[in-house]
Amino acid sequence: MEITQYKKEYKSYDHLVFSCQYHVIFTPKYRRKVLVNGIDERLKELIIEKENDYGYKIIEMEVMPDHVHLLIDLKPRIDVIRCVNLIKGYTSHVLRDEFPVLRRKIPTLWTRSKFIASVGAVTLEVVEKYIEDQKKV
């Protein structure tokens, strides 16, 4: 499994030019430290496996024993919440089948909660200045 180096680029289709990245964090139920002993590596494989099916690209990923960080690139027509829910649902189903210890330790693999923040190549101040400077052109 390899995540290739990512260079911020703009994509286009139809009449749209875009670049949409999100920082996503989600945790196992009760924040239990269950993402260990091969479960972490298998989780990474499963997330990469569904990139094309769900329409996202993983830029960066880190699995800690009690939470997951994703830096994900999405088309603007793809709902980020739905995408994260699909990832969580698929990985929960497969991991609980492959690792019965997960069924014994927690009733469901993931909490319903998630953190999602949009990520830009520049700060808010830079964008504000750019927009303000457009008046001077």
Specify the 3-state DSSP secondary structure of 64: strand
pLDDT higher at 88 or 7: 88
For residue 133, the model assigns a pLDDT of 80
Mean pLDDT throughout 103-123? 89
Instruction: Say whether 22 is catalytic.
Output: no
Q: Which of 6, 13, 30, 130 is catalytic?
A: 130
Whole-structure pTM value: 0.83
pLDDT tier, 6 (very low <50, low <70, confident <90, very high otherwise): low
- Nearest Cα residue to 5 out of 46, 73, 60: 60
pLDDT tier, 96 (very low <50, low <70, confident <90, very high otherwise): very high
User: In this structure, are strands 67-74 and 115-119 parallel, antiparallel, or unpaired?
Assistant: unpaired
Window from 51-60, 90-99, 128-137 with minimum mean pLDDT: 128-137
Q: What fold, for 15-134?
A: Alpha-Beta Plaits (3.30.70)
In the numeric block, which tokens belong to residue 55? 């329409």
Query: Residue 17 in contact with residue 11, Cβ under 8 Å?
Result: yes
Query: Residue 113 in contact with residue 27, Cβ under 8 Å?
Result: yes
